[in-house]
Amino acid sequence: MRILIVEDDHELGQLLKDYLERLGHERVVHALNGHQALQELSDHSFDCAFVDLQLPDIGGLEILHTLKTHDPSLPVIIMSGYPTIERSIEAMRRGASDFLTKPFAFQDLVFALERALREREILLENVSLRLEKQARIELEKLNKQLEATLEEQKLLFSVSNELDQVSTSDSLYETIIRWGLKLSGAKRAGFYVIIPPGHEMVLVAESKNKSNTAHTFPQMITNRVFEKPPDTIFQVQMNRNILTLPSQIDVDTLMQTMIEHVCPQGCHCRCWNMDIRGEPFGFLISVYEQDLPDIPKANQRILDFLLKKAGLTLENLALYESLIANFYGILRSLVNALEAKDTYTGKHSERVTTVALKLARFMGCSHSEIESIKTMGYLHDIGKIGIPDTVLNKPGRLTPEEFELIKQHPIIGESIVKDLGLSEIDRSIIRHHHERWDGKGYPDGIGGTDIPLTTRIITVADAYDAMYTDRPYRKAMKLDRVKEELIRNSGTQFDPQIVEAFLEMLNLEKTQKGDRNDNDDR
């Protein structure tokens, strides 16, 4: 059999050529680019072609069109390391016989070649009226196989894309549950994580109960398979908490234990394991109210892919969060070092963050907003690292030039954290905490709701701490005076709703504490 390989990767092309020659094919030609392939086509005839989608000179789809124009019966198999649904569909539409995603196994190459040859045989036989009906039937089967392949590729791309967008472990578990239900055909599903040293499993996510059954997943399962913890363990850092996971676990036995503990009477369950670094980390379990249905092989393959990639995603999240946590720790140490130079403003950022968090919770802010304040509140003044100490700690009034220098610290601060991949809201806490509600603040002069809510909360907490603590140029104000200043500047410097909520929170705290601290107003 005569085969043309069009692949600009010399090593991969030669590897495919050597392999096909060892299979006993008559002639195998490797072309490094489109022009060389077209020259070979003009000089020789071929029975099959493997074409890379991305070539340095002529696109793979254009080569495909030329090959099919030259010989409509020539099977062409497209190869790509960066597949998309659109490219797969376009290649099939233009007459490709199959689509191989790099890297692929030699077995996949052989299967694709067999299908292509069968397609060529059918097309050639179709010339004869005697085999026209059979050829039509075979072609329909091939079309259905291609449709099934495309549908499987589409689902794989969807799963991969969703996992690539995941940014937290919670959203990862929710993604596993959602796809687990869709692919397994189950009524309910839950995901358990192994807790060290491997004798307990904790439910971290489950689907909402849409069926009539009152079954709920147990929150914890105690596994008594092992009489003693395994000899070897490894650790993964997730959400800044260390999970120590057992090694050398009998996964099949453990999954059977899961089913025995979770599956309700009268129902049936299936279980799949998710590994990290080759060791069991957690289990997806699905519940069926009737007999176990047959899961299509394509869905089984996608389920395996889902859990394998989810394990890699979880490990990457852990590594990323560890790096970010360490970097935040360094930045907070810089802020602490900066504030330690000044006995007046020491721990200012910590106090501002504490007050802002209390206010955010009191106002019912979302989890993401609270997390943003918790992280960025400590860093809101980090830009002061770039301001001379003589200006920062000056006991008297600042000159206009010195004040202009001070006004640069939000910009300096944002430049320090710009490469952390922070959200616009996170960056705003650093850049805009000196903006005003009336738009007369700095550095950008924005106002109103153009300033994110988290930043407006930090602004009030920052002003409160500045007034309620000693400063180089004045003593701390009494609490009543601080409240008066907040009210006086409400609607100009501060968001009036936040001031109102802050004063309400202070009054509520005072009521809850009683009158024992009434005189503790400095």
Cβ(192)–Cβ(222) under 8 Å?
no
Q: In CATH, what number is assigned to the domain containing residue 99? A: 3.40.50.2300
**97 is a domain residue:** yes
Q: Which residue has the higher pLDDT, 356 or 320?
A: 356
Is the same domain home to 301 and 349? Answer: no
Is the same domain home to 55 and 181? Answer: no
Model confidence at 289: pLDDT above 60: yes
Is the same domain home to 80 and 186? Answer: no
Backbone angles phi, psi at 144, to 5 degrees: -65, -40
Model confidence at 224: pLDDT above 90: no
The mean per-residue pLDDT over the stretch 284-305 comes to 84
**325 is a domain residue:** no
Is the same domain home to 225 and 111? Answer: no
**pLDDT confidence tier of residue 254, bands split at 50, 70 and 90:** low
Give the chain's domain count.
Answer: 3
Q: In CATH, what number is assigned to the domain containing residue 504? A: 1.10.3210.10
Task: Report CA-CA distances (Å) from 519 to 409, 468, 478, 510.
Answer: 37, 15, 10, 11
Is the same domain home to 276 and 402? Answer: no
Is the same domain home to 77 and 141? Answer: yes
Q: What is the mean pLDDT of the chain?
A: 79
223: CB partners within 8 A, 6+ apart: 198, 199, 200, 201, 254, 257
Is the same domain home to 353 and 501? Answer: yes
pLDDT tens for 72-91 read 878 888 888 877 778 788 88
- Kindly provide the residue ranges of all beta strands, DSSP E only, lying in 216-331, ordered along the sequence: 220-222, 233-238, 241-246, 268-276, 279-288
Between β-strands 27-31 and 268-276, what pairing exists: parallel, antiparallel or unpaired? unpaired
Q: Which residue has the higher pLDDT, 198 or 18?
A: 18
Q: Is the Cα torsion angle 195, 199, 200, 201 positive or negative in sign?
A: positive
DSSP 11-24: HHHHHHHHHHHHTT
Encoded tokens for 57: 């000179």
Confidence at residue 110, expressed as pLDDT on a 0 to 100 scale: 86
Confidence at residue 29, expressed as pLDDT on a 0 to 100 scale: 92
Q: Among candidates 232, 236, 187, which has minimal Cα distance to 211?
A: 187
The mean per-residue pLDDT over the stretch 298-304 comes to 88
Confidence at residue 243, expressed as pLDDT on a 0 to 100 scale: 36
**334 is a domain residue:** no
Is the same domain home to 109 and 33? Answer: yes
What is the C-alpha separation between 215 and 222, in angstroms, rounded?
19
* Domain C-terminal end among 309, 332, 355: 309
Is the same domain home to 300 and 419? Answer: no
pLDDT tens for 189-221 read 888 887 765 557 778 888 875 554 545 676 766
Q: What percent of the chain has pLDDT over 90?
A: 17
Q: In CATH, what number is assigned to the domain containing residue 232? A: 3.30.450.40
pLDDT tens for 503-522 read 999 988 888 776 544 444 44
DSSP 63-117: HHHHHHHH-TT--EEEEESS--HHHHHHHHHTT-SEEEESS--HHHHHHHHHHHH
**pLDDT confidence tier of residue 45, bands split at 50, 70 and 90:** confident
**413 is a domain residue:** yes
Model confidence at 360: pLDDT above 90: yes
Confidence at residue 194, expressed as pLDDT on a 0 to 100 scale: 76
Confidence at residue 152, expressed as pLDDT on a 0 to 100 scale: 80
Confidence at residue 242, expressed as pLDDT on a 0 to 100 scale: 35
**18 is a domain residue:** yes
Can you give the pTM of this predicted structure? 0.45
Lowest mean pLDDT: which of 138-147, 228-237, 306-315, 436-445?
Answer: 228-237
**335 is a domain residue:** no
Confidence at residue 334, expressed as pLDDT on a 0 to 100 scale: 66
Model confidence at 456: pLDDT above 90: yes
**213 is a domain residue:** yes
Is the same domain home to 453 and 347? Answer: yes
* Domain C-terminal end among 79, 112, 145: 145
- The HSE-up count of residue 285 (CA atoms within 13 Å, CB side) is 31
**233 is a domain residue:** yes
Q: Is the Cα torsion angle 112, 117, 122, 124 positive or negative in sign?
A: positive
pLDDT tens for 125-155 read 665 555 556 666 777 787 787 777 888 888 8
pLDDT tens for 237-246 read 333 333 334 4
Is the same domain home to 487 and 421? Answer: yes
Tell me which residue range forms the domain holding 37. Answer: 2-145
* Domain C-terminal end among 110, 145, 180: 145
Long-range contacts of 204-208 (CB under 8 A, 24+ apart): 204/169, 204/173, 204/282, 205/170, 205/173, 205/174, 205/176, 205/177, 206/177, 207/177, 207/178, 207/181
What is the C-alpha separation between 424 and 430, in angstroms, rounded?
10
Is the same domain home to 363 and 506? Answer: yes
Quick count: other Cβ atoms within 10 Å of Cβ 24?
Answer: 7
